[in-house]
Amino acid sequence: MSSEIFWRINTEKSSEDKPMGEKHAPAIALPAQVKAGDKFKVRVFVGGGKHPNLSEHHIQWVELRVDGLYVARAEFAAVITEPEVEFTVVCPHRKFTEVSALARCNLHGLWESKATLSFVE
């Protein structure tokens, strides 16, 4: 495998290897709608059980961003934790539109997914 995978942020769409993309691109679960100023949960999970969780190959961390701004990070110890996490987020106003998650695999680099926030009136 080329080391180029470490020199970019990969996405499921940009991956030339579909199973590789499915195993690494973080899945983001958001409420259908959120209200400005109220807490909501953002669940992020990687691999859907298909990504290895071994000391030599595992997901090291997941980072959450809102409109590209860092908001939270979870780190995972190999073998003993699964790369699944739930963050509690508050967006103070409706200006925010996008939630993104970045995951890092120690063998396959950075992977990003994005989801759109929908606000109730």
Q: Which residues bind Fe ion (CB under 5 A)?
A: 105, 107-108
Taking CA 61 as the corner, what is the angle to CA 4 and CA 86, rounded to the nearest 5 degrees? 135
Nearest distance in Å: CB 51, Fe ion: 6
Closest residue to Fe ion: CB criterion? 105
Q: Identify which of residues 91 and 104 has a Cβ nearer to Fe ion in the complex.
A: 104
Q: Identify which of residues 37 and 49 has a Cβ nearer to Fe ion in the complex.
A: 49
- Return the SS3 of 35: coil
Distances (CA, A) of 119 to 11, 27, 40, 92: 26, 20, 11, 11
Q: Identify which of residues 66 and 102 has a Cβ nearer to Fe ion in the complex.
A: 102
